[in-house]
Amino acid sequence: MPRSIRFTERFRYEIADGGNPPPLVRAEISTDGSHQIAVPLIVDSGAAGLLLPSEIAPYLGIDLSAAEEVPVGGVAGAGTGLKSPVQLHVRIGRLACRCNAVFIKSVMLPDCGLLGREDWFHNFEVAFRHKLREILMVSAS
């Protein structure tokens, strides 16, 4: 018997350039209490994990000079990312969890990040209501 999920959080897609907007939400990302930045994220069930533009690493107090290089790829092409040496605290509305992240050059992902399955989707049930331009979320526990 299918389980009924009662979603507690509802987010409207942020409209970027009109047209057919991606499921874009605003997230607060931090490393510790003193380094925090607001980042628009495309909620992408096809992405493996959290991808962020490398340009924001300094604002989070993260030094990527010794970061491990990892391969990344998707519809924007293939390339190399830098694995964050620290977990990031990601908050969307009232929902939050710690996430591993990979930083990539923004030419692959201009002006936003991707929020994929690893970490976030393990902690929260996520549903898309594309016709209404909404994302629904609730704790998975």
Only one residue has tokens 């959080």, namely 9
Q: Give the per-residue pLDDT at 123.
A: 93
User: pTM of the prediction?
Assistant: 0.87
Residue 51 has pLDDT above 80, yes or no: yes
Tell me if 10 is assigned to some domain.
no
**DSSP-assigned letter for residue 131:** G
Tell me if 97 is assigned to some domain.
yes
Q: Give the per-residue pLDDT at 72.
A: 87
Domain that holds residue 101: 26-139
Domain holding 61: CATH number?
A: 2.40.70.10
Residue 1 has pLDDT above 60, yes or no: no
Q: Which string of DSSP letters, residue by residue, matches 18-36? A: SSS---EEEEEEEEETTEE
Tell me if 75 is assigned to some domain.
yes
Tell me if 11 is assigned to some domain.
no
pLDDT confidence bin for 69, thresholds 50/70/90: very high
- Count up the domains in the chain and report the number: 1
Q: Of 2-11, 69-78, 130-139, which one has max mean pLDDT?
A: 130-139
